[in-house]
Structure 1
Amino acid sequence: MNAPLTLDRRRVLMGGGALIVSFSLGRATAQEQASAGAPSRPGSLARAPYLDSWIRIDADGSITAFTGKAELGQGIRTALQQIAAEELDVPFESLTLVTADTKLTANEGYTAGSHSMQDSGTAIQNAAAQVRDLLLEEASRRLRQPVETLRTENGTVVNQDGMRLTYGELVAFELLHVQAQSSSRLKEPATFKVMARPIARVDIPAKVTGGAAYVQDIRLPGMLHARVVRPPSYGAHLTDCDTSPAEKMPGVVKVIRDGDFLAVVAEREFQSIKAMSSLAVAARWQESARLPKQRDPREILTGLPSRDSTILELSDPAVTGQRTLEATYTRPYQSHGSIGPSCAVAQFTDGAMTVWTHTQGVYPDREAIAEMLGMPLESVRLIHVEGSGCYGHNGADDAAADAALIASVLPGRPVRLQWMREQEHAWEPFGPAMVTRLKASVKAEGRIADWQFEVWSNTHSMRPGGAGALLAAQHKAQPIAAPEPKPLPLPEGGGDRNAIPIYSFPNTKVVHHFIAEMPLRVSALRSLGAYHNVFSIESFMEELAAVANTDPVEFRLRHLKDQRARDVIEQAARSFGWTKDQTPPTDHGYGFAFARYKNLAAYCAIASEVGVNRDTGRARLVRAVAAVDAGQIVNPNGLINQIEGAIVQSMSWTLYESVIFDDTRITSIDWQTYPILRFNAVPDSIEVHLIDRPGQPFLGSGEVGQGPAAASIANAVANAIGKRLRDLPLTRQRIKNAIEA
């Protein structure tokens, strides 16, 4: 795979007659707008207000759209291209989309939190619509005809007589280098030709044919291969290492040691692996027992100091309940389980560093790498290339830092750095363990009178921004300390994400116990705290429905005022064939769950059927039926892909996954010690029913399914065996023990 095609201003100017891509973060402009009381620009236009930050038209009529968000497998490359094509009135295939690149695209921070559509999609939609209007105005000026007599079609402006001016003919230098307005003349959904259509995803063909699809596939001329020897445990220090045997091995170009950072570079990949093994044998490390051994998350988390905050409190003393239920739910530390170990390619030439990486935040990672290397920010460029697996903060940023540090001492030649499987499993930042404690009382007529919810959790993001977030920077002879862990603020939150119930209860108290001390390295894993909080809330709702002797679906609807929430619940139940007093097949169970992601993004309800082998305890999701409301749908197939993937991934977390460690080392370092869902356990069927909301804002949907899937599976297991399991994962042994208890 050659280096990805890149565009720059010099090449554009040499071509002549093109719109120049130049963007500003717009900090001053935003401040000026705020002081003037002007309405804010939609989506990420608020941060990068110039239209040519998002849309470029060349003199030959070719069109490029830009996004600061990264394609992670969620399908945004296709969806964002559809949005731009729709508003510009051009065929989908005629438009090119450039994703996250610190030289070319706006700074949209991290691709995280299901924000791509509502931030970048909204920005591109409005920018493209305003570009279309500017082209119409320019054509009106040239043709001397009223703008209302003109229309756009297939990359041209057409007048009533059929005269056409192409977009390329209309563009002029800096025509689009203007700041976006706060409102746009968007196309009516009834006129859509590209949006709301199931266009095949552009990122799939290379992935399924073995083509060059990932950063792991990059091959550049003269490229070297590198491997890092990681410490065996957190806090281990390299006391001695005889590097001479490795340095004499065939193909070895250099052995690099900087404090506890140890790496080898070779001409070929397998040569680097062999040399890495030699270095690992020669390395002597001083270790210390600093982990809490493998214990119940209740013991680990609730025994640590915490900063406690009440994030919701409602009181109505006149309302009291007669029957009370209490329950505690736990989630272990969990891995991203990336199928391909983290990888990056870096090249240091003429004082400039370029890194190809699957980081989810090219701008924050650039800042961290520049600090680590002591380089000016403008001398470091990060280009996003997809990685083979990950939603969240895995080893991608660390691999980018490894590659950059190694390349900095070997100027001129590109260096490809890839982690080994055991390094990925042992050193990536895990999804944090969590504990939730719930208590509720139910009135005689079957309504919840009082709801109390507490959650204990570490931070859910230690993403780069500063160099201290990078392993390479932490392991250098002059280390940069890791930043202080902090909670993520509401309304989106981190450990408290979705801790506030969307249901209406007269008496409610929600407490977040933020634990700054982190026994294991942790950061963002898809859906953050929402996965466990929704699992807890929706499991407890099912338990309370039993206390109230009420059908679980009816019980949820009884406590919901949001009509869109009610719609997805009713759609999922109807499509599943859910009925009151239903009886599943022998050794099968039915479960239901619902959530609105972060209480402000997409809505999702899932009904599940799970089969349980009572002899072995093995549970398997047989079928799942989901209903989703994500606002205006751009690509129905892409949205269905996301929900199907969320259900399968959540099934794996819920039934199999748990990080294992002793008092010194992470011990779940391969697929045997950290099992994930295998092909022979996938569901027989997954149905996803979409509720379209034409003209409504895009609602983030990439992470909406994780929590409801987990809870619906757990509820179905409880329905199948007649026993409630509250500790994740719901392993065979736990289910078998519950059956035999």
Structure 2
Amino acid sequence: MNDHDDIDQGRRHFMFSGALFVAFSLAPGARALAQEVLADEGAAVHVAKATETLAGSLKTNPLLDAWIKITPGGLVTVFTGKVELGTGVRTALLQVAAEELNMKPSLITFLTADTGASPDEGLTAGSHTMADSGSALLNASAQVRGLLVDGAAKHFGVDASTLTVSDAVIKAPDGRTMSYGDAIGIVDLHRKATPTSPLKDPATFTTIGTSLPRLDIPNKVTGGVSYVQDMQLPGMLHARVVMPPVYDAKLLSFDEAAILKMPGVVRIVRNGSMLAVVAHGEWQAVVAQRALAANCQWSPGRALPDREKVHEDLKRISTQRIEIANTHSATAPAAKTLTATFRKNYLLHGSIGPSCSVAHLDNGVLTVWTHSQGVYPLRDALAEMLSMPKPSIRCIHTEGSGCYGHNGADDVAAHAALIAAAMPGQPIRVQWMREQEHTWDHFTPAMVTEVSASLDASGHIVDWQYELWSNSHNERIVNAGRLLPARMLETPFVSAPSTPMLQPEGGGDRNAIPLYALPAMHIVNNFSPTMPLQTSAMRSLGAHTNVWAIESFMDELAHAAGVEPVAFRLRHMQDPRARHVIELAAQQFGWPRPPRARNRGVGFAFGKYKNLMAYVAMAVEITVVPETGQVILEHADVAVDAGQIVSPDGIRNQIEGGIVQSASWSLYEELKYDTQRVRSFDWSSYPILRFSAAPRSLKVHLINRPGAPFLGAAEASMGPTAGALANAIFDATGQRMREMPFAGDGLRKRIDA
């Protein structure tokens, strides 16, 4: 499917030794000095005035030994507070640190998010990892190297500029050497980072910019232990939970005695409506869970929204009108005005592996292994839920099989913690069932957008009006009440109020402000804190819908102006880097394509993720099967500018994966539900893109900018994919796609009509 640079299959795999975990704390008084600022997709983070000028996450974790520890024996351990979600960032961050430490990556022990060891970087979300943690590690590693070299220079009595460093060994011109282990005896890394760093010239990079083998891949392709789902601890028991049939239903009764007689059952744990069965074996737990669920009696709960009226309801229940852009300048008179409405339905995460966690309460300390995207916020919420001091809870990130956003990871961790707290001394493994993963997901919200724009007589946009309606895209864990099991307890916790995420990041309004130069622009986010269905963050948040709407409408305006669509975009684009990716994608694709065969179409779209991160432009070619409404993505050329490239293969993987996932959302996916309950409980009731419908060919063309800031790319292709597909369907069929999903029976009926 993919065209890549040649890859040396003989490249060696890296093996890492164990490391001693050392806890650390922020500098004294840092909390008192802190100012609160909003973090992307999560709880507030704190930036002290004294650290505002530091790079990336050094602002919130300024001590160098929070990031890098060196033992007298020469063991170098590098930490990040970010987590590996399958994006390859663990490998990329290691490359960054290795480059500036002048070490082979294989000589470094690299550890990810762990509340007992790593810096607190909040959530791994919003394509922030390289911008935040990557920038922090780049500068921290350079400063540590500089301090060690300065210490060695003083010891040798020479100028630091005469020393060279290779693989943790500092060498003087006369042949004398000092290892990093020796140098740490004369250098104290327990100090704050400085605003300036002795960064290497990007022209000398040997690790950054290369495609190293991913650290997480070998076990995954050989069937080794890779995920929290694979964990096995001595004496571990297996638990399964019973969930209510619908929101707000209360557990009335169940036959405990019958379940306790079943083979392998150890205990039933109940607290209010939180119910679980614990057994020696996993299958025993599954069988007991099914029997327990069958004999439970529940109160009715509350009705779900009418699926046919959900978009009307979004307008009715919105309570906050937030103006995010309002600009006006002199323009030519409007000669033509176009309007359109776009609708997106609820989607679910569809994690391949149901959410899982392992917890163990031992000697008053609760350890939780979790695939949460934020181990520190989770730790804090668990402490509140269990009335335990935070230092008595340790959350260790362990990869999960399937994530990208706020799925059930935190909730299942809360289940495991509650059961482990009730059964101290025994490790407890909890895995949700498939129907629980689907029906109790934090769905991505349905949305409505309305756009109106005017063209002058010369075919230039002179006015742009845009409104959107959406529930919250961010119900991340900021208190115990955000944990689903905590709301089911006998004394339930209450979720923190839903609040909109502010620009420039945005939530439902992410990427709602076009990057195009528009003389008059008015954009409004209509936010509703009321959620008919449980919603939260999924990859790209509102950018998927907003870029689709904007790029579809740009295409429509181009046709109305009689201007070729790529030329129309360039006419309204001033950002030189945006112009570069647009021109490169068009050139590589051979845009505009000559007249095509029947039922074939091409489409183009552009986006700069959050108007802050990576630039992506793409041209696609599709085939539509009119008898079924199937849409086949035949080929795409994609141009990407993510600033300084750390791992070319890593960025390609993320762009390609984003295209496949966005194609699935845009063409096929839609949550099924009625007023009684969610009906998408398995893969037959929630179809996703299958291997047979995977894109035939994807070519990703990277623009490297050595020395430029890292720009997050993991979510950057979601919106442009939706826009390009919608425009290609119009090119093939003459049908403008105003509602997702595009493909299938709905498209077939429109073609037949």
Among 542, 549, 556, which residue is 1:529 paired with? Answer: 542
Secondary structure of the equivalent of 1:677?
coil
Q: Which residue of 2 aligns with 1:212?
A: 225
CA distance in 1, matches of 2:583, 2:318: 43
How far apart are residue 481 of structure 1 and its match? 1.2
Among 79, 97, 101, which residue is 1:84 paired with? Answer: 97
Q: Which residue of 2 aligns with 1:584?
A: 596
Moved more, 473-482 or 154-163: 154-163
Aligned counterparts, 1:409-424, within 5 A:
409-424=422-437
Q: Which residue of 1 aligns with 2:8?
A: none
TM, length-normalised to structure 1: 0.96
Q: Which residue identity lines up with residue 485 of structure 2 in the other structure?
A: A
Moved more, 588-597 or 22-31: 22-31
Among 370, 379, 395, which residue is 2:408 paired with? Answer: 395
Q: Which residue of 2 aligns with 1:732?
A: 744
Q: Which residue identity lines up with residue 227 of structure 1 in the other structure?
A: R
CA distance in 2, matches of 1:466, 1:577: 52
How far apart are residue 35 of structure 1 and its match? 9.0
Q: Which residue of 1 aligns with 2:614?
A: 602
* CA contact 2:627–2:748 (8 Å) conserved in 1: yes
Are the structure 2 counterparts of residues 364 and 174 from structure 1 closer, same or farther at C-alpha, using a change threshold of 3 Å?
Answer: farther
Q: Which residue of 2 aligns with 1:251?
A: 264
Among 186, 196, 201, which residue is 2:199 paired with? Answer: 186
Secondary structure of the equivalent of 1:408?
helix
CA distance in 2, matches of 1:111, 1:291: 31
Among 178, 200, 203, which residue is 1:165 paired with? Answer: 178
CA distance in 2, matches of 1:384, 1:476: 26
Secondary structure of the equivalent of 2:200?
coil
Q: Which residue identity lines up with residue 415 of structure 2 in the other structure?
A: D
- Summarize deviations over 1:180-230 as a string: whole Å, max 9, x none: 001111111110011101111111111111111111011011100000000
* CA contact 1:297–1:331 (8 Å) conserved in 2: no
Among 442, 463, 467, which residue is 2:455 paired with? Answer: 442
Aligned counterparts, 1:21-36, within 5 A:
23-24=26-27, 26-28=30-32
Moved more, 626-635 or 309-318: 309-318
Q: Is 1:692 equivalent to 2:704 in the alignment? A: yes
Q: Which residue of 2 aligns with 1:649?
A: 661
- Summarize deviations over 1:483-539 as a string: whole Å, max 9, x none: 211101111010111001111111110011001110000000000011100010001
Are the structure 2 counterparts of residues 135 and 173 from structure 1 closer, same or farther at C-alpha, using a change threshold of 3 Å?
Answer: closer
- Summarize deviations over 1:238-262 as a string: whole Å, max 9, x none: 1111111111111111101111111
Secondary structure of the equivalent of 1:239?
strand
* CA contact 1:652–1:676 (8 Å) conserved in 2: yes
Aligned counterparts, 1:122-521, within 5 A:
122-172=135-185, 175-316=188-329, 318-521=331-534
Q: How large is the Cα RMSD of the aligned pairs?
A: 1.7
How far apart are residue 286 of structure 1 and its match? 1.2
How far apart are residue 164 of structure 1 and its match? 1.4
Q: Which residue of 1 aligns with 2:559?
A: 546
CA distance in 2, matches of 1:111, 1:36: 24
How far apart are residue 60 of structure 1 and its match? 2.2
Secondary structure of the equivalent of 2:736?
coil
* CA contact 1:24–1:106 (8 Å) conserved in 2: no
Are the structure 2 counterparts of residues 286 and 514 from structure 1 closer, same or farther at C-alpha, using a change threshold of 3 Å?
Answer: same
Are the structure 2 counterparts of residues 586 and 162 from structure 1 closer, same or farther at C-alpha, using a change threshold of 3 Å?
Answer: farther
CA distance in 2, matches of 1:403, 1:631: 41
Are the structure 2 counterparts of residues 23 and 199 from structure 1 closer, same or farther at C-alpha, using a change threshold of 3 Å?
Answer: farther
Q: Is 1:116 equivalent to 2:129 in the alignment? A: yes
Secondary structure of the equivalent of 2:698?
strand
Q: Which residue identity lines up with residue 99 of structure 1 in the other structure?
A: T
Q: Which residue of 2 aligns with 1:48?
A: 61
Are the structure 2 counterparts of residues 34 and 76 from structure 1 closer, same or farther at C-alpha, using a change threshold of 3 Å?
Answer: closer
How far apart are residue 23 of structure 1 and its match? 4.9
Q: Which residue of 2 aligns with 1:627?
A: 639
How far apart are residue 623 of structure 1 and its match? 1.2
How far apart are residue 305 of structure 1 and its match? 3.3
Moved more, 214-223 or 279-288: 279-288
Are the structure 2 counterparts of residues 251 and 572 from structure 1 closer, same or farther at C-alpha, using a change threshold of 3 Å?
Answer: same
How far apart are residue 37 of structure 1 and its match? 7.2
How far apart are residue 564 of structure 1 and its match? 0.2
CA distance in 2, matches of 1:574, 1:737: 35
* CA contact 2:19–2:77 (8 Å) conserved in 1: no
Secondary structure of the equivalent of 1:329?
strand
Are the structure 2 counterparts of residues 165 and 31 from structure 1 closer, same or farther at C-alpha, using a change threshold of 3 Å?
Answer: farther
* CA contact 1:370–1:380 (8 Å) conserved in 2: yes
CA distance in 1, matches of 2:233, 2:677: 36
CA distance in 2, matches of 1:27, 1:46: 12
CA distance in 2, matches of 1:625, 1:405: 49
How far apart are residue 96 of structure 1 and its match? 1.5
Among 568, 576, 580, which residue is 1:555 paired with? Answer: 568
CA distance in 1, matches of 2:337, 2:48: 52
Q: Is 1:709 equivalent to 2:721 in the alignment? A: yes
How far apart are residue 63 of structure 1 and its match? 1.1
Moved more, 293-302 or 662-671: 293-302
CA distance in 2, matches of 1:710, 1:34: 36
Q: Which residue identity lines up with residue 621 of structure 2 in the other structure?
A: E
* CA contact 1:344–1:358 (8 Å) conserved in 2: yes
How many residues are matched? Answer: 727
Q: Which residue identity lines up with residue 627 of structure 1 in the other structure?
A: A
* CA contact 2:147–2:187 (8 Å) conserved in 1: no
Secondary structure of the equivalent of 1:353?
strand
CA distance in 2, matches of 1:187, 1:305: 51
Q: Flag structure 2 segments of 5+ consecutive residues without an equivalent.
A: 1-16, 37-45
How far apart are residue 585 of structure 1 and its match? 2.8
Secondary structure of the equivalent of 1:456?
strand
Q: Is 1:638 equivalent to 2:650 in the alignment? A: yes
* CA contact 2:19–2:109 (8 Å) conserved in 1: no
How far apart are residue 402 of structure 1 and its match? 0.3
CA distance in 2, matches of 1:34, 1:340: 36
Secondary structure of the equivalent of 2:422?
coil
Are the structure 2 counterparts of residues 31 and 512 from structure 1 closer, same or farther at C-alpha, using a change threshold of 3 Å?
Answer: closer
CA distance in 2, matches of 1:317, 1:517: 40
Q: Which residue of 2 aligns with 1:675?
A: 687
Q: Which residue of 2 aligns with 1:722?
A: 734
Secondary structure of the equivalent of 1:295?
helix
Percent identity of equivalent pairs: 50
How far apart are residue 24 of structure 1 and its match? 4.8
Are the structure 2 counterparts of residues 77 and 35 from structure 1 closer, same or farther at C-alpha, using a change threshold of 3 Å?
Answer: closer
- Summarize deviations over 1:21-55 as a string: whole Å, max 9, x none: 65559435667999987761110001010101011
- Summarize deviations over 1:357-376 as a string: whole Å, max 9, x none: 00000000111111111111
Moved more, 590-599 or 239-248: 239-248
Q: Which residue of 2 aligns with 1:658?
A: 670
Q: Which residue of 1 aligns with 2:3?
A: none
CA distance in 2, matches of 1:641, 1:462: 28
- Summarize deviations over 1:410-465 as a string: whole Å, max 9, x none: 11111000000000000010111110000011111111111000010111111112
